Structure 1
Amino acid sequence: MTTTTMISPACRYEIRPPFLFRWEDSQQAHVLLYPEGIVKLNATGGEILRRCDGTTSVAELIDQLALSYNASDVDAIRNGVLNFLEVSHGKGWIRAKA
């Protein structure tokens, strides 16, 4: 049974301990480090999680990425970001900032 998290545009997310988000030169990618291993992120995933700083809202994150990628289809960016955040939350990588 899968539960879906509703990601609100006003929510602010942060990386959940014990995960550590950083750039890894040896991987040439952003990664999430945790006691049991490492998750190598693709470029877009890295850009999304980089903005999960506890102060940037989901709406702001979407706007920043749309501008950064010079996107003409903001709906596609929004859907991709929301899907990635739902998966990230489900995997326990991020948590809502109170």
Structure 2
Amino acid sequence: MSETWKPVLSRSVVFRHDRVRGADLLVLPERVVVLQGNAGSIVRLCDGVRDVDAIVAELAERHPDAPLADEVPAFLGRLRKEGWLK
């Protein structure tokens, strides 16, 4: 994965917060993905402006002790492989 990649949701994917469930969701055609843990805070930063390093840096400010440098790029790579991020 290129570190200069600026992830953004694919056109067919909508990010929403479900107040009833108290969960962040990815709404796709004919499917809803419930994001677990802090996944929503990561996806929320995927605006097509920030690159992966900037996303990791912003999250590191909020969660200084978390192992973000490896986990966030891997997570974003999985979403990209699914076709949810471009």
Q: TM-score surpassing 0.5?
A: yes
Partner of 2:82: 91
Partner of 1:9: 3
Aligned residues: 86
Q: TM-score, normalised by structure 1?
A: 0.81
1:14-25 mapped onto 2 (5 Å cutoff): 14-25=8-19
| Consecutive unaligned residues in structure 2, runs of 5 or more | none
Deviation beyond 6 Å, 4+ runs, structure 1 = none
Determine which structure has the larger strand proportion and give its number: 1
Deviation, structure 1 residue 51 = 0.5
Q: Percent of counterpart pairs with the same letter?
A: 27
Which deviations, in whole Å up to 9, do the C-alpha atoms of 1:26-73 show, x marking residues without a partner?
A: 2211100012120000132111110000111110100011111122x6
CA RMSD, Structure 1 to Structure 2 (Å):
1.2
Q: TM-score, normalised by structure 2?
A: 0.91
Partner of 1:26: 20
Alignment of 1:40 onto 2:34: yes
| Consecutive unaligned residues in structure 1, runs of 5 or more | 1-6
Q: Which among 28, 49, 58 is matched to residue 55 of structure 1?
A: 49
